[in-house]
Structure 1
Amino acid sequence: MDTGNWAEIDLDTADFAYEDAALKKAWSRLHAGDRQPWPDDPDLQDGWRAFHAGDFAGAVDAALAVGGDGHVLANKASGIYADYLEEDDDVRQAIYQAGIVRAEAAIKAEPEQPNAHYFHAYHLGRYSQCISVAKALSQGLGGKIRTSLDRALDLAPDHAEAHTAMGLYHAEIIAKVGKLVGSMTYGASADKAIEHFEESIRLTDAPIAWIEYGNGLYLLYGDKKVDESNDAYAKAAAMKPIDAMQALDVRFASDSLT
């Protein structure tokens, strides 16, 4: 993946350096959402330092240099970069497609690795949003996303980011095809969506958990829940970020309220 032209983060990330032993000390807090184990490989550690400090291109380059064991770092860093910093729709879509391929290879190599399945669902979901949820459903991507999220949660029941993604899966299905078809065809449920969002918030109380909860409320209930949706965004906007990813989440929530 060519990261040479990737944009740099436009935020002050000096507080997110996590140099030397600071990264390991903060690891469980930084990875409460994805449950990723501490890496023994020093090169991967440096790659994660780059990620948390907002050097997403450097993180991907480090991950790809490591090879197979770097798939989680590569997929998380490239995904966050595409979500927030890449302005070209074609480039963004290509990043998600590369993430799908990388995750599929990781699933074959490490079928018991929760984040191989989670990031497969993550990149499929973001790709689906690029091409429209309706088109993605017609191509059968919804079933693939559900299968990967189910597997991720089977392997890691406390995977907060997978709970958030599952909540959004249920909400987007219902918003697109309605409660009846969503339930009968895809097993989607508004109650299940809210349960997953609330579980993610219970596990991490992270900005992205509140943002997607707000999104889910609006997808499911529209203007009936707009105040609750805005409240969820306000909670995210008021949080103090612990790394560059969260700083981008917080800024997004804040900008969305203005």
Structure 2
Amino acid sequence: MKVEFHRGRAGWRWPLLIVLCLTSLGLQAQKTPDIDPALLIDEEEQVTQEELEMENIPVDERIFIEPWNEVPYNRAYFTYTDAEIREKWDYLMRGLRMPYPSADYLRRQFEKYPFLRDGLEDFDGDFQSLEGRYVNVWRHFFAGNFQTARRLGLELGPIGEIPALFSQLLYAIYLADRQSVKYMMLQDMANRTERYFDLMEPAEDDPEMEPVVAVVRLGYAYAIARIAEESPVPIIVARRYISKIKNNAERVLEIMPDHPLGHAFLAGVDAGIMRRVGKFTGRMTYGARTTTVQDSFDEALTLAPDIPIVHYEYANALIYMNRKRDLNEAISHLETAMQLKPQFSMDALDVMYSYQRLREVRLYALNFRSFRLFEKARRTFSKHTDRNLTSVISGPLTTDMLENPDDYVLPERQ
């Protein structure tokens, strides 16, 4: 295979990043004799010319029509009436910070920003009825009825797309069986949110619309980040994932400096960069700093200490930056996340994944001297089997899965 390094803003970084990553892996892999590091490097890092030239992952629309997996809990626990949603709104939105879609709020925004009517079906000017339709989409999102929330939300234009696409995001990360389906769903979310950037720019300084603009950018960046975290380094560089993620993470906090998930995400971005290319290269090439990670997580926990995803992302960040040095603190954050009582789908799935991630962390701590080798083994397994390792319905990664990946390969999609 011949790989051509294309010129562009990040073109000069190709040789540096790839050599540093592979060299670092090779040095650390010597400590773990039971896995062949050459196999991991070849399978995980090798990409085709077609993949390098591909700007976005192609999306097969059938994934939205096929029946989706159910959440692994009784949705009745989180199915609320209109009155309950109104009463609980501030708590349910303590992370996303979306404004309640009241009739008066919608009327004001539609007058200021006519593009919000784009794609809105069956609207006759009755904003009270429209409020009910938006609340109904959020009801399905809160309960975990994600496929219905997506379908109904896409009928309600840009405002409806937010619960629709965050439903898609949660499904992709936590419920999709296949890594390939997860990637397509995340790419579709990135595609749909990116097209609103220019349209929403005039609303960035509008206090009533700032939360909407921030959450759209957050959704875009989060989707790209979830693709990038499992992608080979050449793909990350060729598609400019890091600049797309980091620029939007910073933009979210410029728009809303008190956004708790914005702070946690920015911290996770810098930690994720260090995870893939190391502290030195991350700092010199992309400005990723441990101080940013610490300060941003401190701010996120100050703003919203009871959001499970903040704790488990903090745990991940500690491991990404310091490997086993802060392992006990990382485990403590995962255990904290597991003990939080969820009141809607997002928190419930985050709590479930915290338990699954804790099992993975213990697998790493007990069986691997090198974190990079564990990560390579994990990504190689997922690529070989097409299994989504963040799914909470398929169980955590095990030693047997890593040693016998052929036993876990999913059949090809028809």
Scaled by the length of structure 1, what TM-score is found? 0.95
User: Counterpart of 1:48 in structure 2: which amino acid?
Assistant: W
Give the corresponding residue for 2:163.
73
How far apart are residue 63 of structure 1 and its match? 1.0
What is aligned with 1:124?
224
Which residue of structure 1 lines up, in the alignment, with residue 77 of structure 2? 15
Quote the Cα distance in structure 1 between the aligned partners of 2:167 and 2:337: 21
CA contact (8 A) 1:13 1:243 kept: no
Counterpart contact for 1:171–1:188, Cα < 8 Å:
yes
Give the direction of change, closer, same or farther, for the CA distance of 1:246–1:150 in structure 2 (3 Å limit): same
CA distance in 2, matches of 1:110, 1:72: 13
Number of the residue aligned with 1:170: 270
Residue aligned with 1:223, SS: coil
Q: Distance in 1 between matches of 2:312 and 2:288?
A: 20
Distance in 2 between residues matched to 1:134 and 1:5, nearest whole Å: 34
Pair 134,173 (structure 1): closer, same or farther in 2 beyond 3 Å: farther
Segment drifting more, 55-64 vs 227-236? 55-64
CA distance in 2, matches of 1:152, 1:71: 18
| Larger deviation, residues 5-14 vs 209-218 | 5-14
How many angstroms apart in 1 are the aligned matches of 2:176 and 2:294?
A: 30
Verify the 8 A CA contact 1:71 1:106 in the aligned structure 2.
no
Whose relative contact order is higher, 1 or 2, with alpha carbons under 8 Å and at least 6 apart? Answer: 2
Question: Is 1:103–1:116's contact at 8 Å kept on the other side of the alignment?
Answer: yes
Letter in 2 for 1:230: I
- Which aligned pairs between 1:1-258 and structure 2 lie closer than 5 A? 2-40=64-102, 41-111=131-201, 112=204, 113-132=213-232, 135-205=235-305, 206-258=307-359
User: Deviation digits for residues 32-84 of structure 1, max 9, x if unmatched?
Assistant: 11111111332121111000001011111111011222222122111111110
User: What number of residue pairs does the alignment pair up?
Assistant: 258
Q: Quick one: structure 1 residues 39 and 4, their matched pair in 2 at CA, closer, same or farther if it must change by over 3 Å?
A: farther
Contact kept, 8 Å, 1:80 with 1:245, in 2: the verdict is: yes
CA gap of 1:159–1:3, structure 2 versus 1, over 3 A, is farther
Q: Which residue of 1 aligns with 2:124?
A: none
What is the rounded CA distance, in whole Å, between the counterparts of 1:210 and 1:75 in structure 2?
23
Return the TM-score normalized by structure 2: 0.60
**Runs of 4+, deviation exceeding 3 Å:** 255-258
How far off is 1:133 after superposition? 5.4
Q: Give the AA of the match of 1:59.
A: A
* AA in 2 matched with 1:13: R
Give structure 1 stretches of 5+ with no counterpart: none
Return the letter of the residue paired with 1:57.
Answer: Q
Matched AA of 1:37: P
Q: Distance in 2 between matches of 1:137 and 1:194?
A: 26
Instruction: Tell me how far 1:145 sits from its aligned partner.
Output: 0.8
Larger Rg: 2
1:159-196 CA distances to partner (integer Å, 9 max, x unpaired)?
A: 11111111111001112222222112111001101211
Q: CA deviation at 1:108?
A: 2.3
Change (3 A) 1:36 1:64: same
Distance 2:227 2:354 in 1: 22
Question: What is the RMSD computed on CA atoms of the aligned residues?
Answer: 1.5
Q: Is 235-244 or 104-113 further displaced after alignment?
A: 104-113
For residue 3 of structure 1, report the CA deviation from its aligned partner.
Answer: 4.3
> Tell me, what secondary structure is at the counterpart of 1:21?
helix
**Shift, 1:143, TM fit:** 0.5
Is this contact kept in 2: 1:207–1:250, CA < 8 A?
yes
Q: Output the CA distance in 2 between the equivalents of 1:83 and 1:10.
A: 14
User: What is residue 117 of structure 2 aligned with on the other side?
Assistant: none
Provide Cα deviations, 1:88-131, integer angstroms capped at 9, x if missing partner: 22211110111011111121221221112111111111121242
21-30 vs 10-19, which moves further: 10-19
Q: In percent, how many aligned pairs have the same letter?
A: 29
More displaced, 11-20 or 201-210? 11-20
Query: Do the aligned partners of 1:82 and 1:95 also contact (CA within 8 Å) in 2?
Result: yes
Q: Secondary structure at the match of 1:131?
A: coil
